[in-house]
Amino acid sequence: MANVKLHGAWASPFSCRVVWALKLKGIPYENIEEDIPNNKSKLLLQYNPVHKKIPVLVHGGKPVCESMIIIEYIDETWPQKPFLPSDPYQRARARFWVKFADDKSFVVRTLLISSGEEQEKAKNESLEFLRTIEEHGLGNKKFFGGEEIGIVDIAFGWMSLWLGVFEEIVGVKLLEAHIFPRLYAWTKNFKEVPVIKQNLPDRHELLLLFKGVREKSLGSSSSS
């Protein structure tokens, strides 16, 4: 029995955060693919009774929930190649952007499952989200973590693939190179890191899946 198990779902950017972290640290683990949202395993419900959500990392039989809390757990348990800086002030700055990613990313998800006025609002909020990161978050660094991937890069990792998939499905362009040059360059840098490149979902599969999500959502909202 593996000492480290991940209950996750291949298409979830939250799951992928944990996959990237484990792979970057070089920690072997067993992947347990959950059938979300309708057929979650009993173990998942037992491990995360409050939210009943993936990802859950199980280490030595003990569950850790919430993707970015898992990342900090991984960083504290296997300190090699740290994801967080050592200086308390720089740690606080990193956590600020992790919280920003977690609190604000939903606007882009809203864009995917909305239409008309609601979609226009979500588009504007998504642009504001990107603008804030472009202006305040990244500076002139290669990664949020500096020369190496850090915790903030992992938190924003979904922008390197899912964002473009959502743009294509909805038919809007958000992350344009001439408007957000730093962020655009970052997505390229992030995807070029071998561990990330090898552990991103297949773009075409992702496109098909989220097309279905959008169609189902718009279909059900127009008939309600």
89 part of the interface to a copy of itself, by CB under 8 A: yes
Does 217 help bind a copy of itself (rule: CB under 8 A)? no
The reply on whether position 23 binds a copy of itself by CB under 8 A is no
Range in contact with a copy of itself (rule: CB under 8 A) among 12-20, 30-38, 86-94, 191-199: 86-94
* Separation between Cα atoms, residue 120 and residue 117, nearest integer Å: 5
Residue closer to a copy of itself (CB basis): 13 or 137 = 137
Per CB under 8 A, 59 contacts a copy of itself: yes
Is residue 77 within the footprint of a copy of itself (CB under 8 A)?
Answer: yes
CB nearer to a copy of itself: pick between 124 and 132: 132
Look-up: residue for tokens 């864009």?
111
Nearest by Cα to 6 from 17, 21, 19: 19
Query: Which CB, 129 or 166, lies closer to a copy of itself?
Result: 129
Amino acid (1-letter code) at residue 109? R
Q: Is 136 in the site for a copy of itself (CB under 8 A)?
A: yes
| Contact status: 155 vs a copy of itself (CB under 8 A) | no
The two structure tokens encoding residue 30? 């067993």
Q: Which is nearer to a copy of itself, 62 or 204 (CB)?
A: 62
User: Residue 124 has which token pair?
Assistant: 């504007």
DSSP E strands in the chain: the ranges are 4-8, 30-33, 56-59, 62-65
* Interface with a copy of itself in residues 35-54 (CB under 8 A): 49-50
Cα Dmax for the chain: 53
Locus of tokens 């979650």: 40
In angstroms, rounded to a whole number, what is the distance separating the alpha carbons of residues 37 and 81?
34
Is residue 65 helix, strand or coil?
strand
The answer, yes or no, to whether the previous bond of 79 is cis (omega within 30 of 0) is no
Residue 88 as a binder of a copy of itself (CB under 8 A): the answer is yes
The reply to whether 100 sits near a copy of itself by the rule CB under 8 A is: yes
By CB under 8 A, name the binding residues for a copy of itself. Answer: 49-50, 59, 62, 64-66, 69-70, 72-73, 76-77, 88-89, 91-92, 95-96, 99-100, 132, 136
